[in-house]
Amino acid sequence: MPTGKQQPATAAAPAHSGAAAVAMRRVGMFGGTFDPIHAAHLRMAEAFFSQCRLDALRLIPAGNPYHRDSGPQASAVERLAMVQLAIAGHAGWQADDREVRRARPAYTVETLEELHAELGPECQLWLLIGGDSLHNLPAWQRWQDILRLANIVVAVRPGFDAANLPAALQPYWQQVPDFSNSAPSGTIRALTLPPVPLSATELRHKLAGGEDCSGLIPAGVLQYIHRHQLYRSTAR
């Protein structure tokens, strides 16, 4: 696990470190590399939180992604610190450090099992993923257990068609106008979200070229990036 730089004193303590978990009615899980976290991530998180009527939202930076050809440019600790800064002031949102602290690749199903054990069976877990990830879901570690533990919410891109989903996922898909029903797990639904043409890859190139990313990256995160001289070149 990368050690990275020391976290800034202004960053809030991670959700999983030393604090007792509090059971909530609906808890969302939004995992990602967040390299760096940016405005589109936050718009997705806001839509996820409001449309699913969540009581709490955990943003979980990946520690050591096993499904990417190349690893993140910023260390796990740096990416965690940026998430903490980005969500400061959002009531009910927490940066969860469990995958950053894990010394081996983290599987989504294991993270869900941990959250389920901490929060109790009365808590509904909601997992946010992208449309591309949904198509690959049957290849994920114990993917059927993921659906046993949680409902999946998909941030779909323009042109997404549920009819093209793998046959194994079709029984779980629900085309519903809202998230008001109380199914504890086992459904897949789309998140209503206007497309945001922004990617972390694009932002890393802009930062490496010295371009202004104000408005695309939260101000506190941008200050952290400049202070720690992150993304100064396309290869770190």
Mean confidence (pLDDT) of the chain: 86
**pLDDT surpasses 90 at 99:** yes
pLDDT of residue 197: 84
**Band of the pLDDT at 125, cuts 50, 70, 90?**
very high
pLDDT of residue 150: 96
What's the CATH number of domain 26-195, 3.40.50.620, 3.40.50.10320, 3.10.20.600, 3.90.320.10? 3.40.50.620
Q: CB burial class (10 A; 0-12, 13-18, 19+) of residue 162?
A: middle
pLDDT of residue 111: 96
pLDDT of residue 23: 39
The residue among 25 and 129 whose pLDDT is bigger is 129
pLDDT of residue 2: 40
Question: What are 19-63's pLDDT values in tens digits?
Answer: 444 434 899 999 999 999 999 999 999 999 999 999 999 999 998
**pLDDT surpasses 60 at 9:** no
Token digits for 124? 């509904």
**Band of the pLDDT at 65, cuts 50, 70, 90?**
low
pLDDT of residue 3: 38
Rounded to an integer, the average pLDDT of 116-132 is: 92
Kindly provide the b/e burial profile for residues 36-51, where b requires at least 16 CB atoms within 10 angstroms of the residue's own CB. Answer: bbbbbbbebbebbbeb
Name the residue with tokens 């941990």: 114
**pLDDT surpasses 70 at 168:** yes
Q: Are strands 56-61 and 93-95 parallel, antiparallel or unpaired?
A: parallel
Under DSSP, the state recorded for 41 is H
Token digits for 189? 């639904």
- Report helix, strand and coil shares of the chain as percent, to nearest 5: 35, 15, 50
Q: Dihedral sign for Cα 10, 11, 17, 20, please.
A: positive
Distance CA 123, CA 134 (A): 23
Distance CA 129, CA 61 (A): 13
Identify the top-confidence range among 14-18, 78-82, 179-183: 78-82
pLDDT of residue 68: 54
